[in-house]
Amino acid sequence: MGFFDKCLCCFCLSKEESVKVATLSMIIIEILYSIFQLSVKNLVSFVFSILSIALIISLVLFIIGIKNDNTKYINQFKTFSGTILAIQVILLIKSIINSTMEYSSATDIEKIEEIKIDMENNNANMDISNENIISLIRTIALGSIILSIVFILIDIDYYISTTYYIKELLQIIDSKNMAMMKEESIQMMNNLSSNISNSNNLSFCYSNN
């Protein structure tokens, strides 16, 4: 499953527990991430927050599906959550590209002057050199790149490992359903045989009378 047999963060657990813990961890991460994105207040962050909220709902339904053997809730993960995770990965790749451009253009004089003006408008300390501003820009850009890569790896590993588990889980549920249907069929046949036997006995008694 995934890069390994289970989610990377839960490889010491059973497959079921690994998926459950990883899913709960994803829910917590998405909640925190959506809160952060809503605080930024721009269009891209708003889109990220909406995607996070939608993913949280899908993951909660997935957990319920695992608990209750609800195949509808389980199957929606592959399409709904998969689509959201794919969009998130695309946006994160875009973020990496933008951060790389920010890192490369950190020495741009116009950008440095704009930052100084912003700091002046915000009554910030102006005793800061161009080198410090360049270092700050590159540090922020590099941090954004690293975080984006980490989130991409987490999303991909989680989706792959979970879809493999879903495939196994659906087979188990199908086997359970088949066993239940077989047991019900046997019970119906036994009841039918018993009714026929009772009917024959009654007919025999009436004929003797």
Q: Residue 91: give the domain boundaries.
A: 11-162
For residue 181, what pLDDT is reported?
74
Residue 54 lies in a domain: yes
Mean pLDDT of 164-184: 83
Residue 81 lies in a domain: yes
Residue 207 lies in a domain: no
CA distance 14 to 11: 8
| Percent of the chain topping pLDDT 70 | 80
User: Residue 16: is its pLDDT beyond 90?
Assistant: no
Mean pLDDT of 117-145: 81
User: Residue 93: is its pLDDT beyond 90?
Assistant: yes
Residue 135 lies in a domain: yes
For residue 1, what pLDDT is reported?
44
Three-point CA angle 48, 52, 57, nearest 5°: 155
Non-local (6+) Cβ contacts of 155 within 8 A are: 85, 88, 89, 92
For residue 75, what pLDDT is reported?
92
As a whole number, the mean pLDDT across the chain is 81
* Residue 146 confidence class, pLDDT cut points 50, 70, 90: very high
User: Residue 139: is its pLDDT beyond 70?
Assistant: yes
Which residue stretches of the chain are H helix? 15-40, 43-68, 71-76, 82-104, 109-121, 130-208
- How many domains, the chain? 1
For residue 45, what pLDDT is reported?
79
For residue 64, what pLDDT is reported?
94
Residue 179 lies in a domain: no
Residue 56 lies in a domain: yes
User: Residue 120: is its pLDDT beyond 90?
Assistant: no
Contact 53, 45 (CB under 8 A): no
For residue 88, what pLDDT is reported?
87
